[in-house]
Structure 1
Amino acid sequence: MKQNQHFGFGDKTEIQDIGGGLKRQMLGYNHELMAVKIWFDKGAEGYVHAHRHSQVSYVVEGEFHVNVDGVIQILHAGDSFFIPPHVEHGAVCPTGGILIDTFSPPREDFVEDLS
Structure 2
Amino acid sequence: MPVQNLFSGDATKPETVAPGLSRKVGAHSDNVMVVEVHFEAGTTAPLHHHIHEQITYVMSGKFEFTVGDKTYIVGAGDSLYKQPNIEHGATCLEAGTLLDVFTPQREDFL
TM over 0.5: yes
Place the TM-score, normalised by the shorter chain, in its bin. over 0.9
The residue number in structure 2 matching 1:95 is: 94
Question: Equivalent residue of 2:30, what SS?
Answer: coil
Question: Equivalent residue of 1:38, what SS?
Answer: strand
Answer whether contact 1:20 1:45 (CA < 8 A) is retained.
no
Indicate the RMSD between aligned Cα atoms, in angstroms.
1.2
The residue number in structure 2 matching 1:105 is: 104
Deviations, residues 46-84 of structure 1 (Å, cap 9, x unaligned): 110000000000000000101000210100000000000
Question: Equivalent residue of 1:14, what SS?
Answer: coil
The residue number in structure 2 matching 1:62 is: 61
Amino acid at match of 2:105: P
The residue number in structure 2 matching 1:25 is: 24
Q: Gaps spanning 5+ residues in structure 1: where?
A: none
TM-score by length of 2: 0.95
User: Paired residues, what number?
Assistant: 109
Residues 32-71 of structure 1: pairs in structure 2 closer than 5 A: 32-71=31-70
Taking the aligned partners of 1:105 and 1:64, their CA distance within structure 2 comes to 25
Taking the aligned partners of 1:52 and 1:22, their CA distance within structure 2 comes to 22
Structure 1 residue runs of 4+, over 6 Å off? none
Deviation at 1:14, TM superposition (A): 2.2
Deviation at 1:22, TM superposition (A): 0.6
Moved more, 10-19 or 52-61: 10-19
The residue number in structure 1 matching 2:77 is: 78
TM-score by length of 1: 0.91
Amino acid at match of 1:32: N
Structure number with the higher strand fraction is: 2
Deviation at 1:15, TM superposition (A): 1.2
Q: Gaps spanning 5+ residues in structure 2: where?
A: none
Work out the percentage of aligned pairs sharing the same amino acid: 37
Question: Equivalent residue of 1:102, what SS?
Answer: strand
